[in-house]
Amino acid sequence: MAGFFPTAEAATAFAFGLERKFAGLKLKQQQIDGFAMPYLDGGRGEALVLLHGFGGDKDNFTRMAGRLTKRYRVVIPDLPGFGDAARDASAHYRMSDQVARVHAFCRALKIGRMILGGNSMGGFIAAQYAATYPGEVAALWLFAPAGVADAQESPIMIRYRETGEMPLVMRSPGDARALIEAVMARPPYIPGFAIKTFGRRGAADQALHARILKELLEQSPLLETQFASLPIPTLIVWGAEDKVLNPKAAATFQKLFPASKSILMPGIGHVPMMEAPFRTARDFLAWMSRAE
């Protein structure tokens, strides 16, 4: 495909456009607190808002969303500092800052009570949002969420503490493949032009993302230090082969959210919605049917 387009970025935009169309999603944009936040929006019914992880973007959920738009209004934003959202080197990106921005985003879209989901950093944001605005969250859907101490006892986080090396923060475009291998146990096919685009964007964000990671780890209190439990129905999904965050932390999340169910997915890494999108969607729909 790249041969038909002047740049890898153009080929990637075309490919993502097709994926979004098949999923029933449209690209829109909302301005929040000085940040332009592009987002995907599609489907009808109860609002389902999905938040990507550190270094990710809205299209991490696109393929899975195609199985959900027939039943839900699916809304997937790029969080400030990531994806195609605005960057501001002078702003803060602590958990409290991002939660406030997501809240303002949902209010601007007139989303009231919703199902809120998130992967990794996005899972931390979703859980923190639920603790801050419990009346607005009907259910939580957490994919390998950050936010508790146990989650940080993983190979990648231990290495980061010991050496400062972090594959989620790319120093050069060539680091994109190493990041994919770090977050996925069995990566699906990803076109070379998409990997090149992802690598260029990540390398350009190296300084900002290194600072955001430090803020998240040093200036964002862990969930277990903030509340004992919340009675919000919660589905916790974790890949058994996750090297970024320790799957054993699912037990801690079950204590924080006692009305929860945990699914451990064999052969899956840190991003279940990308590695097994249809199975992940199917498990969610089955869980929601029983919960309702």
The residues carrying an active-site annotation are 52, 120
Q: What is the DSSP letter of 81?
A: T
Q: The tokens 């009675």 sit on which residue?
A: 231
DSSP code for 228: S
| C-beta neighbour count of 13 within 10 angstroms | 15
What's 264's DSSP letter?
E
β-strand partners of 235: 141, 261
Query: CA separation (Å) from 154 to 129, 241, 245, 258?
Result: 25, 11, 5, 24
Label residue 276 exposed, middle or buried (CB < 10 Å: 0-12, 13-18, 19+): buried
Q: What is the DSSP string of 32-56?
A: ETTEEEEEEEE--SEEEEEE--TT-
